[in-house]
Structure 1
Amino acid sequence: MKLSTVALAVVLATAPCVDAFAATSSSKIIKQSQAATGFINLFYAKADGQLYLEANKLNQPFLMLTSLPHGVGSNDIGLDRGQLGYTRLVQFERHGPYLVLKQLNTQYRATTDNLAEQRAVKEAFAESVLWRGKLVEGKRALVAINDLVINDLHGVTQMLAARDQGQYRLDTERSLILPEGVKSFEKNSDVDVLLTFNADKSGKYVKQVTPDGQFMSIRMRYSFIELPDDNFTPRAYHPMSGYLSDSYLDYATLVNQDIVQRHLLRHRLQKVTPGDAPGEVVKPITYYLDPGVPEPIRTALLDGARWWEQAFTEAGFIDGFKVELLPEDADPQDIRYNMIQWVHRATRGWSYGSAITDPRTGEIIKGHVTLGSQRVRQDHLIARGLTAGWQDREAAEQAASALALARIRQLSAHEIGHTLGLDHNFAASSNNNASVMDYPHPKVSLNGQQIDISQPYDEGLGAWDLYTVAYGYSEMADSDAQQAHLAELRQSAQRQGLRYIGEADSRALGASHAYASLWDNGSDPVAELQRLGEVRQQAISNFSDSVLLQGQPYGELRDSFVPIYLLTRYQIAAAAKFIGGVDYQYAEGEDGKEWHYLAPELQQGAADALIATLSPAQLVLPQGLSESLVPKSGNYYATRESFDSGVGVVNDPIGMAEVLSRHTLTQMLAPSRLNRVNQGYLNDKEQLSVPKLVNQVLGATLYEDIPTGRELGVWMRVNAVVLEQLLASYHHADTSSEVKAQLYDRLKYALKQLSRKVKRSSAYEAAHFAWLEKRLTKALADSKVTMIDKPLALPPGSPI
């Protein structure tokens, strides 16, 4: 996942002011308290639970960060163990008897030695006072901070509200400071608090993971972090760098310079002997693995993480990157430890690579990787389904375990890459999997009638990964040599033909770049869809109860079959990007000056391949297999991982066809995609047009000859889905007026065809056409009317 902090709004819930030591001197408080001395000195008064901070660092900026040492355990809510919150640049200021904590504004600056210029910017933009406290009298300045830390600065209530979990409130009466969580280290001081949030009615997901959903108690951490020294040189961001970046407005720039300044996010890494020659480092970038990870996953995570050693060695840093198991005597709260954390949730969910950064320079102070523990089980499930037809069951189990561990190695490298500053590269699969920063799909092939998963994922880093580390971390003799070196690296990447497309144009439905997709394989997504479709058909043919884990009842076959039936879902999305697809680069020179639509034959080939997935022959289940997917047994229940059913507890093969066909058509007919198809056609009449695309879809479905047997029901359901998705695009606010006109014309023509089919068909088929005609007539006039009243849900796919 993308390296970022969770930007959440500030909510200060006022706690009652307790001033038990109002008449007590600071020296007496210190004598009677539990002390934690270090970056900031903290004193916990056991008698009444008050926490005091020594105000001896006034007007000295530092970082304040909230995080969650303990999580909620729900991927849907998103409040995970180890989650980093919003990093704030703050400072304490004294005003009379009061101490305030002020958040400084880092978005607007004047990078100049002219103090008047700096003051002009500072006075132009607001700052934020987060808290005020009254100082205790005495030789050492102390202030009670309970009402600072017993607060929702992490934004838990906003997160719950955004996830439709209800209106939770911070309950200060059930919240307190945890004395064992008050710690101070050389470069950071931490305070852990137990915060309880209550609601009149518990949220659905909160109820699933808490003993009492009306009262959710979580451990939150406040970290006060020393800023790094001034010996770090920021590196300017370039779009082709492959890095994440921070930005700010610099009002000291000249008029002929860009006011927005951007710098890479990266660790500090210095050689003992500076220069471009390979050399030993002053201090390596070292990551520490959570010892709570079980074997053999632990070894796989260490192996994948250590792939980065090669990149730093090739960039000239001898032993510049290391990965170790966290020592028993080490405290993961210490800011000096980059952590790889193993996190459990009630369901499978995303993994993350986050970091604490210096907003002034982009220096990464601490990398923090969160790895969801249930991800490996999903990969194992997919592998079991793919090997269900193997006669050698011992070999099948070994292969399934090997695939899952291979994915864990890749996942470890991927998330650490984010904490090194790297962005996703969703175009890497089109370059022979040139980066671990892509999302990979397991590579599967056919060996006769047996599915081969012997090489599911690449091992080690790709060419793009080696380039990005060299770009972000390589060190030259002087600034001129450094800039020349970076330019040469970019040009070398272009000469290698390396593509890079990050978040900006990859995830969204209807995204435009033809080669930037998630969970796909190959340089030709259409050819890969056709190839993977053959694998899918064989996997369906081979599927059996051998996929079940020991002790699982037969009813669990239904969930095991989900990723097999939907095996092509991501490749469908990738192939759809060829329709109305464009190609461009972040390159310098002529290669980066223009974008263009894909050639007409490539777009048409994608349309043909996608329309083929709507064929009843591709969607129907063999009767024997369908009947083997028996209902869930006893206290085993359907979950989000199960297919919806419109026929009760039994398997719904027509419903399965509905959800997969809707997935294909949603990708093909996304409003922005149709808008691009239309504009491409207006510029070049050789290109695919919206009427031609719609005619081809309708011609292969609704207008096709009526099938017989078990394919008839699937065909009828797909017809309804086709019209439903055409109507969805027709009514969508993002669909251009020109495209709406074409869709309206084609749907009106479809009404005429339906009227003819009613008259020419047998009674059963005529009823189908008559119902479609009646519903389509209403739906054209009323966007609230749909062809299917209650569409069946597509089970979750990401993450795998």
Structure 2
Amino acid sequence: MIHWLTTLSVCTVYLYNLLLGNNQLLLTQGVNFYLQQLNALPAIENISSADFFFKDSKLEKFQRFSEVVRDTDKLEGLFTLYRSLEDDQIYLEIQPEQLNKNYLGTVTLESGIGESGIYSGLALQDFLFYFRRVNNSIHFVIRNVNFRATSEKPEQKALNRSFSDSVLYAVPIVSISSHRKAILINLGDLLMQDFAGLTPLLKNSLFADYQLAENKSYFGAVNSFAENIEINSVYNFSANQGANLITLPDSRSLTLKVHYSFSQLPENNGYIPRIADERVGYFITAYQDLSNYNSSESFVRYINRWHLEPSVTDAPLSAPKKPIVFWIENAVPLEYRDAIREGVLMWNKAFEKAGFLNAIQVQQMPDDADWHPADVRYNTIRWFNSIDAFFAKAPTRVNPLTGEILDADIIVDANMVRSLQPEYRTLIEGSSNNQNSCNLTNYNTQLIEDDRCYGIESSLQAAIGATALSMLQNSALDNEKMQEYVHQYLRSLIAHEVGHALGLRHNFHGSTMLSPQELNNIEITHSKGLVSSVMDYLPVNLAPQGIAQGDYFPATIGPYDEWAIMYGYKPSNFESIGAIIPEAEKPFLEQIVGSSQQPELAYATDEDIWDINPNANVWDMSNDVLVYSQWQMDNARLMWQKLDKKYPIKGESYSQLRTVFDKILMYYFRNANLIVDYIGGQTFRRNYALDVNNWAFVPTNLAKQRQALATLNEYIFAEDAFEFSPQLLNQLAPSRWNHWGNPVPISRLDYPIHDRILRVQSTILRSLLDGDRLHRLLDIELKTLPGEALTIPELFDTLQNSIWTEILGKEELISISSIRRSLQREHLDILLEMVLRKTEVPEDGRTLAWYELRQLQKALSAKLKKLGEQLDIYTVAHLEEVSDRITKTLNASLVSR
């Protein structure tokens, strides 16, 4: 049945449109569409009336209700709870109207162990559930919301038989009161059997068989409010052979606290689901409408967003009836609260464009607060500690039927800022002596990709910026400058996470708005923005030498952010009259999203960046990454030079020098790796067709590809690409502290310079000659006019001539350095693998590798015959072995045919 008020609302829309003279057929279709959506229900098994349960004549089989709740504390609210402090039992009362009704459940890990993925504040689960009585049990059932059908149609019957809900637990009924018409269950039977799923989480994260110790587990604080109940559970886990956890005094036992929120879904609150559009980046709630046979698309997609209503419906700018309020947790250090506040409020600029004044507000959680940060009624920004996390997250809790965001809790690992503090202290000490130094957390130089926002890579970027504060600006670093830098970084980090909390996905086109020359012009970056979207993964913005440093991180949100918020939150005319037909908003929304062709509104998200697209990437900056990345590699080289001349400071450990050297090398590699995407690259944007000149894919300009190859040859493959003095290399010592959290390395102690450099060169080279890239280059030849594509032969020739310059480019040859010999062997290995079919490449790639080896063999023979006696033994042995391997491989390939 459709509630009569809802029917009246739909009829009001119908009459309103009729008065405007709108097309009758369109109106009928719109109203019918909405009626279908309103009745589109998840699959549910038919259940008898709840009243039947309280007419059962066999109630004597249960305990007497009054006896069970005697001597308990009664907590009335959404569900009435009875707690016995004597034996720590909690009973939950279920009314007949609460059976088979949807509720939202959220589960949050309130305490962790600070390592290996078990961190406090993590969102564990959220789901739609209902209670169902079956005989003498109450089933706790997770609703299947992925498939729906109009309830009045026969399809609903098929849907009920086709898909299943998930019955997680069957809890025995403790008592039934015919007088109160209430069912009583023991909450411990539901929540004290690892309801949160911690056992598999611990096994997967810690690789140890931890089991729940029920006799050591108990309930903490419990509260029941009008629209939600909040429950803390404390679980103890034991293992005969625990994981080797350095954060625990004894790894055989650990305790985790979990917070449960069971809340009522908003009903008849006027929320209007908003149709999603793939050109604007929102998280979505999607379901398949199995009663819709009239459309090529059976999925219905709503964006996830908050319920914002203007308090004055006919005003161009109005305060919302209920603003979005974020509370800064009282555990956040005092010195970071202002930056966090600014990062949150940064988004009000976007909401003003959408018609809302002060849509987002920030409040401080008092130290004596009587509520919990995981309480579903509060949106919080939380602070936690770990030894290995390095991330921030912004999980939201969403009504899975409509996409309405109901709760958000941003969590930030203290390591995101703490990693800058040792650097800060060392730099302050050094500046008093007119010297500088660094002490940063050590990282392996391998590229580390992480799907968590602002992970290790973000910390690296921030640490490099902190290093550059003194090393590149040629000025003494003081306390105020460092505090401002940390403020910029944390403000930007929080703005990114708040964007997620508002429903926005990543936009990895965000960094491409400005030219390299505009990035440090604060007149531009403070008004228009440093980037088009703070939802990108943004590097620290370091000015090149000779340019005054501007903002290190964005000081404001960008044009895309404003536009996306308009799409998600700007009220439509239908909203202003109380209409609730999502499909009717499409013309209104199309007016907004129609401007997506503008370059500053380009959108690319996580699944887009796996393609070879130099304009959609992570940790890049500007609309010309070739120029920007070269600037950053020049900055890195300058920092290395200063390390060689001015470090370490007297009385300081050599290990600090090693950590910063490694970080600069990783930063250098990151920027070189960005240039690789120009080779065989193409731009792709989520635009719709407008005219014949509007292509979905545009191959990267040939001149840009050649420029990218030239830059890589100079900065990665050239003979003088990596030159460090013996003095510097002999000072790169590891830390000698050996204790928990800081083990001494068991490998060689001196710095493995050949290994580090070859790792960088090999990763870049193998990426350039990867089978996917070669397939792309071959395809692009058919997608461009003759002479406008970079061909595989040109790529192969350019790399071979650069890597084998001593053989192919120089008349005189005395010796080949050890760095070059390693690179040449790696290049040879790649070509040999192609010829021997040990790697997947196009057949044209394999034959061209064969051809390149033949050319190289001829040049080697000639060079050895002419200059063999003049060469050092390293070079002779190297070249003769290369020649022999080529000969054997070519012969083997001939036999294999």
Do the two structures share a fold, i.e. TM-score over 0.5?
yes
Give the letter aligned to residue 350 of structure 1: F
Q: 1:667 to 1:429 in 2, by over 3 A?
A: farther
Report the TM-score, using the length of structure 2 for normalisation. 0.76
**Aligned mate of 2:796, from 694, 712, 726:** 694
Aligned to 1:714: 819
* 2:251 aligned with 1:213: yes
Aligned to 2:192: 150
Instruction: Quote the Cα distance in structure 1 between the aligned partners of 2:774 and 2:324.
Output: 47
Give the letter aligned to residue 148 of structure 1: L
Give the letter aligned to residue 188 of structure 2: N
Aligned to 1:195: 235
**Aligned mate of 2:385, from 320, 325, 344:** 344
Give the letter aligned to residue 412 of structure 2: L
1:657-736 superposed matches below 5 A: 657-684=757-784, 686=787, 687-704=789-806, 712-724=817-829, 735-736=841-842
Instruction: Quote the Cα distance in structure 1 between the aligned partners of 2:755 and 2:720.
Output: 15
Contact between 2:246 and 2:741, CA under 8 Å: does it hold in 1?
no
Aligned to 2:465: 383
Instruction: Quote the Cα distance in structure 1 between the aligned partners of 2:172 and 2:830.
Output: 63
Give the letter aligned to residue 43 of structure 1: Y
Give the letter aligned to residue 806 of structure 2: E
**Aligned mate of 1:61, from 83, 94, 102:** 102
Q: 1:203 to 1:322 in 2, by over 3 A?
A: same
Cα displacement (A) at 1:24? 4.2
Cα displacement (A) at 1:210? 2.8
Give the letter aligned to residue 367 of structure 1: A
**Aligned mate of 1:499, from 602, 609, 616:** 602
Cα displacement (A) at 1:58? 0.8
Instruction: Quote the Cα distance in structure 1 between the aligned partners of 2:634 and 2:152.
Output: 68
* 2:311 aligned with 1:272: yes
Instruction: Quote the Cα distance in structure 1 between the aligned partners of 2:86 and 2:494.
Output: 46
**Aligned mate of 1:525, from 625, 630, 634:** 625
Cα displacement (A) at 1:409? 0.6
**Aligned mate of 1:118, from 145, 156, 174:** 156
Aligned to 1:613: 715
* 2:167 aligned with 1:129: yes
Aligned to 2:552: 456
Structure 1: state its 5+ residue gaps.
Answer: 1-20, 783-800
Cα displacement (A) at 1:255? 2.6
**Aligned mate of 1:417, from 493, 499, 502:** 499
Aligned to 1:438: 536
Instruction: Quote the Cα distance in structure 2 between the aligned partners of 1:82 and 1:780.
Output: 59
Give the letter aligned to residue 146 of structure 1: G
Give the letter aligned to residue 632 of structure 1: S
1:316-715 superposed matches below 5 A: 316-328=355-367, 329=369, 330-376=371-417, 377=419, 378=459, 381-389=463-471, 394-395=476-477, 398-432=480-514, 433-448=531-546, 453-478=549-574, 482-495=585-598, 497-506=600-609, 508=610, 511-543=611-643, 553-590=653-690, 594-614=696-716, 615-635=718-738, 648-684=748-784, 686=787, 687-704=789-806, 712-715=817-820
Aligned to 2:877: 767
Which deviations, in whole Å up to 9, do the C-alpha atoms of 1:160-181 show, x marking residues without a partner? 5555x4242433346512233x
Instruction: Quote the Cα distance in structure 1 between the aligned partners of 2:204 and 2:344.
Output: 34
What is the root-mean-square deviation of aligned Cα atoms in Å? 3.5
Which deviations, in whole Å up to 9, do the C-alpha atoms of 1:33-62 show, x marking residues without a partner? 344432223334344443322222211111
**Aligned mate of 1:238, from 274, 277, 282:** 277
Give the letter aligned to residue 336 of structure 1: R
Give the letter aligned to residue 407 of structure 2: K
Contact between 1:520 and 1:570, CA under 8 Å: does it hold in 2?
no
Instruction: Quote the Cα distance in structure 2 between the aligned partners of 1:369 and 1:500.
Output: 24
Q: Which piece of structure 1 moves more, 604-613 or 85-94?
A: 604-613
Structure 2: state its 5+ residue gaps.
Answer: 1-59, 420-458, 515-530, 575-580, 893-897
Q: 1:59 to 1:447 in 2, by over 3 A?
A: same
* 2:286 aligned with 1:184: no
Contact between 2:374 and 2:409, CA under 8 Å: does it hold in 1?
no
* SS at 2:300 equivalent: strand
Q: Which piece of structure 1 moves more, 530-539 or 138-147?
A: 138-147
Cα displacement (A) at 1:117? 3.5
Query: What is the number of equivalent residue pairs in this alignment?
Result: 747
Cα displacement (A) at 1:729? 7.7
Instruction: Quote the Cα distance in structure 2 between the aligned partners of 1:239 and 1:264.
Output: 10
Contact between 1:632 and 1:638, CA under 8 Å: does it hold in 2?
no
* SS at 1:617 equivalent: coil
Which deviations, in whole Å up to 9, do the C-alpha atoms of 1:532-574 show, x marking residues without a partner? 2222211111226978899852322111222222223332232
Give the letter aligned to residue 594 of structure 1: A
Cα displacement (A) at 1:419? 0.9
Contact between 1:348 and 1:374, CA under 8 Å: does it hold in 2?
yes
Which deviations, in whole Å up to 9, do the C-alpha atoms of 1:387-437 show, x marking residues without a partner? 454797743654444323211110100001001000101011111310100
Which deviations, in whole Å up to 9, do the C-alpha atoms of 1:292-311 show, x marking residues without a partner? 12132221111111101111
* SS at 1:288 equivalent: strand
1:29-40 superposed matches below 5 A: 29-40=68-79
* SS at 2:749 equivalent: coil
Aligned to 2:330: 291
Cα displacement (A) at 1:732? 7.2
**Aligned mate of 2:343, from 304, 313, 317:** 304
Q: Which piece of structure 1 moves more, 730-739 or 761-770?
A: 730-739
Instruction: Quote the Cα distance in structure 1 between the aligned partners of 2:414 and 2:815.
Output: 41
Instruction: Quote the Cα distance in structure 2 between the aligned partners of 1:358 and 1:87.
Output: 10
Structure having the higher Rg = 2
Give the letter aligned to residue 490 of structure 1: V
Give the letter aligned to residue 498 of structure 1: L
Cα displacement (A) at 1:85? 2.2
Report the TM-score, using the length of structure 1 for normalisation. 0.85
Give the letter aligned to residue 112 of structure 2: G
Q: 1:546 to 1:170 in 2, by over 3 A?
A: farther
* SS at 2:383 equivalent: strand
Aligned to 2:121: 82
Instruction: Quote the Cα distance in structure 1 between the aligned partners of 2:196 and 2:265.
Output: 21
Instruction: Quote the Cα distance in structure 2 between the aligned partners of 1:348 and 1:729.
Output: 40
* SS at 1:437 equivalent: coil
* SS at 2:381 equivalent: strand
Q: 1:606 to 1:256 in 2, by over 3 A?
A: same
* SS at 2:246 equivalent: helix
Q: Percent identity?
A: 23
Q: Which piece of structure 1 moves more, 253-262 or 759-768?
A: 759-768
Cα displacement (A) at 1:464? 0.6
Give the letter aligned to residue 258 of structure 2: M
Instruction: Quote the Cα distance in structure 2 between the aligned partners of 1:52 and 1:733.
Output: 63
Cα displacement (A) at 1:22? 9.2
Give the letter aligned to residue 59 of structure 1: N
Q: Which piece of structure 1 moves more, 514-523 or 562-571?
A: 562-571
Which deviations, in whole Å up to 9, do the C-alpha atoms of 1:431-479 show, x marking residues without a partner? 131010011111112345xx96552122111001100111100002126
Instruction: Quote the Cα distance in structure 2 between the aligned partners of 1:549 and 1:89.
Output: 59
Q: Which piece of structure 1 moves more, 708-717 or 602-611?
A: 708-717
Contact between 2:815 and 2:872, CA under 8 Å: does it hold in 1?
no
